[in-house]
Structure 1
Amino acid sequence: MKKQKGFSLIELLIVVGIIGALTAIAVPAYSKYKLESDATAGLASVKNLLTKAELHLAANGSNTLLSFATALDPADGATFAVGKLGVISGTAAGTNTAGTLVFTFDSGHSTFASDTITFTRNDEVWMCVAAKDITDAVGALDGCNTGT
């Protein structure tokens, strides 16, 4: 009798089962990684501007965050696009209000459609609050509190 070459059906089924098990583990891990990377990118985008905002405030006075946001992208009013991930907007500090820089995720290109990460400046300290949807999905962000 001749010896046959190739794989048996059982061997092929075992390989398919192993690949299926690895996929079942990898896909949820990748999904969580994607959520975390989106949230971290949005947070980093705003944190990157905090030093520039402080320099602008030091040079121009404490009520100029709106002009800072407008200076980032004067053609678009008081918003600054961060690639396809979202936009940063600013509001001026007034007598009874704190100045803010807000990152809003783009609804078409991000997992967190229209959710925000807000940095508020009060008494020369920046406080960060992320939207509840973000913290529910990825947990606490380093340097950011839970929002509502």
Structure 2
Amino acid sequence: MVAMTGRKTHSYAIGQRGFSLIELLVVIAIIVLVTALILPAFTSIKSAGDLTSAAYTIKGVLEQARTYAMANNTYTWVGFYEEDVSQPSTNPPTPGVGRLVISIVAAKDGVQGFDPTAVASATNRLDIARLIQVGKLTKIDNVHLPLFAIPTGTPGNTFDTRPAVQNDPVVGYNDSRFGELNASPPNTAPVSNNGSSKFPLQYPVGNPVPTAQYTFTKTLQFDPRGEGRINSSYDVRPVIEIGLLPTHGNVAPTPTPSAGNFTGNVVAVQLHGVAGSVKVYRR
């Protein structure tokens, strides 16, 4: 009887070896270098996406306020406030840069309740007790509302070719746009009533009137026809502009090379005062 015995065979690759330490260090260095080169591009893309998202959020707020006014045959107001994004939303808030707070309110009886052509007074005012809140507060982080230079070219569909706002013979452009909400006049827009609405609104609203957390001195009003007016007291403007810039924390970008001119990611949201259409212009 012959016994069969199995034999294990081993194959060895001749000339194979692992990476040396120097080779591994070279590969790691290349990876670090490539990452450093492409990271700013990804950051820029994210920033542009965030700014575009913020613009369309504002567009949605304006359309909601206008639709509510027309559907309920009443007046609505949109208030704008900018606070310090490095601080939590407190009561009272911390004015600053980086967090935009937006509120919509409506007249619950369909009446404006004041004479926009007259001086504000104890009897000629926006009565907070007659207002209702429309939806929740909208808060957008890492954005700032600047004043952009007025475009001068042929109107188109980009930021640099967007339509120009109306140049009022007395106050210039600043009654047709929102920007630098916490700045002092004349470096703020609109410039009416020393930079503030004659008829400010607050959050929250109700009857009896609650203690205010936010007081909105920059407002946009829609009437039952859907027409938009800045600070409640002006003629309908053909174009109302809200500019947007990305911020680095509570620091806004510096204009380059001159006031109102910014490089990089910029967005303008424009509302047609009569037609009510809202359009976003990007660079």
Normalised by the size of structure 2, how large is the TM-score?
0.32
C-alpha contact 2:244 2:266 (8 A) present in aligned 1: no
Deviations 1:3-36 (A, max 9, x none): 5621023321221122112211222122222322
C-alpha contact 2:65 2:76 (8 A) present in aligned 1: yes
- Structure 1's 49 and 126: CA in aligned 2 closer, same or farther, altered over 3 A? farther
> Which residue does the alignment assign to 2:67?
55
Deviations 1:51-105 (A, max 9, x none): 322222223457x223x78xxxxxxxxxxxxxxx864224788725xxxxx9653
> Which residue does the alignment assign to 1:18?
30
> Which residue does the alignment assign to 2:241?
128
Letter in 1 for 2:266: A
- Structure 2: 5+ residue stretches without partners: 1-13, 80-98, 107-111, 118-136, 147-177, 179-218, 221-227, 230-235, 246-251, 254-260, 269-279
Give the number of the structure with larger relative contact order, counting CA–CA contacts within 8 Å between residues 6 or more apart: 2
Correspondent of 1:95 among 105, 113, 116? 116
Query: 3-state SS of the aligned residue for 1:27?
Result: helix
Following the alignment from structure 1 to structure 2, what is the Cα–Cα distance between the partners of residues 4 and 87?
64
In the TM superposition, 1:1-148 aligns within 5 A as 3=15, 5-61=17-73, 64-66=75-77, 87-90=101-104, 95=116, 105=140, 110-112=141-143, 115-116=144-145, 120=220, 121-122=228-229, 123=236, 127-131=240-244, 133=252, 136=262, 138-141=264-267, 143=280
Structure of greater Rg:
2
Normalised by the size of structure 1, how large is the TM-score?
0.53
Following the alignment from structure 1 to structure 2, what is the Cα–Cα distance between the partners of residues 141 and 130?
6
Following the alignment from structure 1 to structure 2, what is the Cα–Cα distance between the partners of residues 127 and 103?
20
Deviation at 1:139, TM superposition (A): 2.8
Over the aligned positions, Cα root-mean-square deviation in angstroms equals 4.1
- Structure 1's 131 and 32: CA in aligned 2 closer, same or farther, altered over 3 A? same
Query: 3-state SS of the aligned residue for 1:6?
Result: coil
Letter in 1 for 2:47: L
C-alpha contact 2:65 2:104 (8 A) present in aligned 1: no
Following the alignment from structure 2 to structure 1, what is the Cα–Cα distance between the partners of residues 52 and 262?
14
> Which residue does the alignment assign to 1:76?
none
Following the alignment from structure 2 to structure 1, what is the Cα–Cα distance between the partners of residues 116 and 100?
29
- Structure 1's 27 and 17: CA in aligned 2 closer, same or farther, altered over 3 A? same
Deviation at 1:138, TM superposition (A): 4.3
Following the alignment from structure 1 to structure 2, what is the Cα–Cα distance between the partners of residues 30 and 50?
31
Following the alignment from structure 1 to structure 2, what is the Cα–Cα distance between the partners of residues 136 and 29?
18
Following the alignment from structure 2 to structure 1, what is the Cα–Cα distance between the partners of residues 138 and 20?
56
- Structure 1: 5+ residue stretches without partners: 70-84, 97-101
Letter in 1 for 2:58: V
Higher helix fraction: Structure 1 or Structure 2? Answer: 1
Following the alignment from structure 2 to structure 1, what is the Cα–Cα distance between the partners of residues 31 and 102?
42
C-alpha contact 1:87 1:103 (8 A) present in aligned 2: yes
Percent of residue pairs bearing the same amino acid type: 24
